[in-house]
Amino acid sequence: MGSQFPPKPQVLIVEDEFIIADFISEIVEESGCEVVGPFGTLPEAMQACRSADADAAIVDLALRGELAYPIAEVLTRRGIPFGFATGRDKAETESAWEQRPYLGKPFAVEELRQFIDGMLTRPPDCHGRPYASASCRER
């Protein structure tokens, strides 16, 4: 017999600092979502973002000295909404990505919750893939 409840939104986490990844994971779970990851290196994250069935992604822009723009490209092609949660200054973001949601470190719990909800409640993207219609906590 199948579940009577809708599936929880899945949020892919790309973060190379363990303590921050753990903090983000905790808030994602408290918000009623399932965590995919976290992934802390560019190769791990690339493999995950190519195959994961995620509803949204939180991406640190700098992973052990490597920029995460290739991850952003894959997520964009797949129509998965994502934003950057990073310690890098927003002004340093490449122009192709400057309109993406941005959350500067350090951030507060409520800021992270709003960031997650914002990605999950956006209208359909340019690929026609609908984003989730309700926030994590409403599911």
- For position 69, which CATH number holds? 3.40.50.2300
Determine, yes or no, domain membership for 3.
no
- Residues 15-33: what's their mean pLDDT? 95
Gyration radius (Cα) of the chain, Å: 14
User: Tokens 């579940």 appear where?
Assistant: 3
pLDDT at 99: 85
Domain ranges, residue 18: 10-138
Determine, yes or no, domain membership for 4.
no
Determine, yes or no, domain membership for 23.
yes
- Residues 62-70: what's their mean pLDDT? 92
Determine, yes or no, domain membership for 2.
no
Cα separation of 90 and 94, whole Å?
9
Q: What is the mean pLDDT of the chain?
A: 84
Task: Look at the chain and report how many structural domains it folds into.
Answer: 1
Determine, yes or no, domain membership for 19.
yes
Determine, yes or no, domain membership for 5.
no
